[in-house]
Structure 1
């Protein structure tokens, strides 16, 4: 089932970046070598606090 991993980012990660990294449908509308405006915005301005998954980040 596509998109299963994308819907559950780990704590401390940006939900939008996680989805854009693992769900191919997000970038399906883009042309060859065309940049995603939302991805570029996060690379330039950073991750907005409201998109960071709450919880403690750790290995265990």
Structure 2
């Protein structure tokens, strides 16, 4: 089952890879290049967070 869409402020790629097991099902540990890239270099996607309106 595909993961739900990423909530505001979350990287869509990180969210999908963390919540959709089918992405990594065919891979052995340490073979997912996007995940390895994020572990080494951090998340390349800057997603703006929703503004807070409680002030």
Corresponding residue of 2:44: 48
Query: Where is the helix percentage greater, Structure 1 or Structure 2?
Result: 1
Displaced runs of 4+ in structure 1, greater than 3 A? none
In the alignment, the residues of structure 1 paired with residue 51 and residue 35 of structure 2 have an alpha-carbon distance, to the nearest angstrom, of 23
| Larger relative contact order (Cα-Cα within 8 Å, sequence gap ≥ 6) | 1
Within-5 A mapping of 1:1-60: 2-3=1-2, 6-31=3-28, 34-35=29-30, 36-49=32-45, 52=47, 54-56=48-50
In the alignment, the residues of structure 1 paired with residue 51 and residue 26 of structure 2 have an alpha-carbon distance, to the nearest angstrom, of 33
Aligned Cα root-mean-square deviation (Å): 2.2
Q: State the TM-score, normalized to the length of structure 1.
A: 0.65
What residue ranges of structure 1 are gaps of 5+ in the alignment? none
What residue ranges of structure 2 are gaps of 5+ in the alignment? none
